[in-house]
Chains A and B, each alone.
Chain A
Amino acid sequence: MSKARSSVARTGLVHLALGAYTLLALFPIFLVLVNSFKTRAGIFSTPLQLPSAKTFSLIGYETVLKQGDFLVYFQNSLIVTVASIFFVLLFGAMAAFALSEYRFRGNTMMALYLALGIMIPIRLGTVAILQGMVATGLVNTLMALILVYTAQGLPLAVFILSEFMRQVSDDLKNAGRVDGLSEYTIFFRLVLPLVRPAMATVAVFTMIPIWNDLWFPLILAPGEATKTVTLGAQMFIGQYVTNWNAVLSTLSLAIMPVLVLYLIFSRQLIRGITAGAVK
């Protein structure tokens, strides 16, 4: 790196900008976390302060955990998110491999058709989806959500992954073919490990909207046994009274699982972002 670019003033400015952005991004989360540990009075009188001896309270968490179903809600959210990511990655990668590797009639049309899903929000089809789920008896099952989210995540996954797969060396795949590896082995053992950073990127992009979604859980699976966390938290928000302690505690708890998932993917993700820059 040149002298000028690594000068103290410059690095300082860069760090300042990054620091400011981090603060900005983390501030709401900080507020939620801090206030989840306060009494109701504390939340309203001193929303920006850390909990003091007087305002500290675990009442929010107690409410949530006593509401026995919450463990089930968490479990539902996790099952739906993890299963959807799994299917999006599996089918997305397979479709991407087919589109980028094989020449067949209608290849381009197929790719365009799949890319269409990126531009058209799946919610436009809600009514038809609901009718379909009712007809197949899938309403109020986690399967309904998993199917919808898989469909929702696939277009972007196929789009991103096929671009990355095109960059995997042809020679490597051909070497595998000459050595007698099946197309499946080539796909799983040679190609997938090389596009792992892209897979992580897709996983993160797929995960967040699914975890946070309120729309489809509300419409397709509002039953007690199939509620997700986001939907479950709504019951503390009333038209006239909102149990802020419980809402903030739920939200704080809801951050944890995504955080863990994100940490798992992020090591790969960082490699994806800097791919090519650092070898």
Chain B
Amino acid sequence: MSALTLQNITKRFGSTDVIRGVDLDVAEGEFVVFVGPSGCGKSTLLRIIAGLEDQTSGHVTIAGRNVDVTPPAKRGIAMVFQSYALYPHLTVKGNMGLALKQEGVDKGEIERRIAAAAKMLHLEALLERRPSELSGGQRQRVAIGRAIVRQPKLFLFDEPLSNLDAALRVNTRIEIANLHRVLGATMIYVTHDQVEAMTLADKIVVLSAGKIEQVGRPIDLYNKPANLFVAGFIGSPKMNFLKGASAEKLGATTIGIRPEHIRVVPAVGEWQGKISHLEQLGSDTFVYVAMEGAEPITVRIVGQADFEVGSTVGLEADVQHIHRFDADGRAI
């Protein structure tokens, strides 16, 4: 049985269409990540699933039950917000227990669940504190704990890590991945960080301007993007796009080559350009080559390499790794 089904969901605010016909099926236990540029409607879609926003048309089904008119608290979901959204007047314990108290779960059971969640998230020492006495990372863990104790059918995360610093983000990301393994629950996770998307997801949903561009396993999206948007959005540094003669020769309007599939060679042959910039990360070297009539091409060299900025070099691509797109931007 699928944990969540969206059927032709649309949403308009006044006269702007924010969600334009979204169909999606999420299997039980799946970790689904929504990615897309800012303002594409990820949060709105999540809020529609949660019942915090009414869809203009379409149907939401959670665990086989139509929830179009069910209030958020009765949908069997729990949500973790970007701004933590802890209740400032309650202790950590009170924050975690409130929803259960509202549901009428008995005291002993509440205590038991809070203790279990606190153990899992290393919050035992903080149970009597108020949110204002916690660090950002601790607050986010409490917010996650508040979701766990409800034992929901569906977890919803709206950019839960974006307020944390880089190191903490990596840690919490791993913690969330572990949590998914341990609980085996269905999770829907919104982010615009593609590292989070690639590492956490069983299935990535790429959204753009309120429509799904592609759904698939992270690696499939990387290897076989369905269109120009997904090709450009997934992967960092971005895929290189070339138009014109070199594309036409391969029977496409645009061709795309990932930075790791291009090599820098001596300046002979078809593609030549000047090195405009060099980034040495130690583990990788990024070479930016300005070619006439095209955007700068990024080349990724594994390991360390040295080039002189301003020198003219040639470029060569692995032919079997070239992505071809037609005039409408669809992959051929």
Contacts and interface: CB of A to CB of B under 8 A. Distances in A.
Interface of A: 169, 171-172, 174-181, 189-190, 193-194
A177 B98 CA distance: 11
B103 interface: yes
A174 B71 contact: no
A65 B102 CA distance: 55
A174 B102 contact: no
Nearest to A193: B89
A174 B89 contact: no
B83 interface: yes
A174 B87 contact: no
B89 A178 contact: no
A171 B83 contact: yes
A177 B73 contact: yes
Contacts of B127: none
Contacts of A181: 73, 98, 102
Contacts of A177: 51-52, 71-73
Contacts of B146: 175, 179
B85 interface: yes
A279 B99 CA distance: 29
Interface in B85-128: 85-89, 98-99, 102-103
A267 B145 CA distance: 35
Given A175-B86, A177-B72, A189-B87, 7 more contacts: A172-B85, A174-B81, A175-B79, A175-B87, A177-B51, A180-B73, A180-B103
A179 B149 CA distance: 11
B212 to A, nearest CB: 24
Nearest to B79: A178
Contacts of A176: 87
Given A174-B52, A178-B52, A178-B72, A169 B83 contact: yes
A174 B99 contact: no
Contacts of A179: 73, 98-99, 102, 146
Contacts of A193: 88-89
Contacts of A190: 87, 89
Contacts of B198: none
Nearest to A172: B85
B78 interface: yes
Interchain residue pairs A-B with the least CB separation, the first 7: A180-B73, A179-B99, A171-B85, A180-B102, A171-B81, A175-B85, A172-B85
B99 A180 contact: yes
Contacts of A171: 81-85
B82 A178 contact: no
Interface in B36-63: 47, 50-52
A190 B50 CA distance: 20
B228 interface: no
B252 interface: no
A80 B212 CA distance: 60
Contacts of B98: 179, 181
A174 B143 CA distance: 13
A169 B77 CA distance: 20
B129 to A, nearest CB: 18
A178 B102 contact: no
A178 B87 contact: no
Contacts of B87: 172, 175-176, 189-190
Nearest to A181: B102
Nearest to B99: A179
A174 B47 contact: yes
B47 A194 contact: no
A193 to B, nearest CB: 6
Contacts of B77: 178
A15 to B, nearest CB: 33
